Amino acid sequence: MSSLRGNNGPRYKHTAAESAPYEAITVDKLTPIIGAEIGGIDLAKPLGNRTIDEIHRALAENLVIFFRDQHITPDQHLAFGRLFGDLHLHPAAPHEPGLPELMIIHADKDSPRANGEGWHSDVSCDLEPPMGSILYIKECPPVGGDTLFASMYAAYEALSDRMKGYLDGLTALHDGEQVYRGIYANYGVKDKPAYPRAEHPIIRTHPVTGKKALYVNRGFTRRIVGVPRDESDAILSYLYDHAENSLFQCRFKWRTNSIAFWDNRCVQHRAMWDYWPATRTGNRVTVKGDKPA
Ligand code: SIN
């Protein structure tokens, strides 16, 4: 992994726009680049307009936000998601009985795999990939099971001007087929005839912040459209290594009843399955997004 050293300070110099003070919530940054813990809020109670606006702003400014010590029912979890848009139905993953929008996130000693073990942006193979994901963890291993999040704004900004120019206007194919086929058979999930695939710009512009973000990920992206295969493989391999640089990351240590809410339009994440044979379990509500542009 490159250290991204420069000869005149760091090659990636992060500058954050001046944030207005928050009045309804507290916001404690995990790093200057990504991640903040939100306090002064009980998600089991109705939220006022100012609180909701400030959560939107905290997400836009920090890309992923965390809430501790929350005690919410499945209905409250779903209702919180709906504050940010219509809810997304996962094309493959199991859900709680009768609640198709409440995805099960679970791994224990008998699991063949855990969710999200490789770097990815959720369901980027959809034509309109999810805007955000809200994960509520209810049972934690005694240690481990952290989730890593990486800023794709920072990854874009840290590319050379030459590379930004090369990628400008290029698209890549994202495919769910190899990711999802057979993967949830242990839950009794029957495969669909086909899983989503979509072509998206490699550099997308965030519809709320107007910032550019790198939008390829090791999980779903298969090839760059319109260039020879060997060139596509080499460029994607460089972009994945670059996007996964620890300079762009924060790492969230879960406790029981914590919630993470990340913006898939500018964040990739990876869940660590370092806690086997312990159990980690929770639910994810996913909010629909737009076609990347
Ligand atoms: C996922 O939604 O990709 C899983 C993340 C996690 O379990 O931390």
**pLDDT tens track for 82-114:** 999 999 999 999 999 999 999 999 999 999 999
Q: How far apart are CA 79 and CA 149, in angstroms?
A: 24
Q: Omega before 46 cis (within 30°)?
A: no
Q: Is the CB–ligand 1 distance for residue 147 below 6 Å? A: yes
Q: Is the CB–ligand 1 distance for residue 219 below 6 Å? A: no
Whether pLDDT at 5 is above 80: no
pLDDT score recorded for residue 54: 97
How many residues comprise the chain?
A: 293
Q: Is the CB–ligand 1 distance for residue 115 below 6 Å? A: yes
How much is the pTM? Answer: 0.97
**pLDDT tens track for 9-68:** 888 889 887 789 999 999 999 999 999 999 999 999 999 999 999 999 999 999 999 999
* Whether residue 69 lies in the annotated active site: no
Residue 168 has a CB neighbour count (10 Å cut-off) of 11
The tokens for 54 are 């400030």
pLDDT score recorded for residue 234: 98
Do 201 and 170 form a contact (C-beta atoms < 8 A)?
yes
* Whether residue 269 lies in the annotated active site: yes
Catalytic residue among 77, 88, 120, 280: 120
* Whether residue 122 lies in the annotated active site: yes
**pLDDT tens track for 170-195:** 999 999 999 999 999 999 999 999 99
Q: How far apart are CA 20 and CA 133, in angstroms?
A: 25
Instruction: Give burial (CB, 10 Å; 0-12/13-18/19+) of 199.
Output: exposed
Catalytic residue among 174, 269, 270, 280: 269
pLDDT score recorded for residue 43: 98
Q: How far is the CA of 195 from the centre of ligand 1 (A)?
A: 20
Q: Is the CB–ligand 1 distance for residue 221 below 6 Å? A: no
Q: How far is the CA of 105 from the centre of ligand 1 (A)?
A: 7
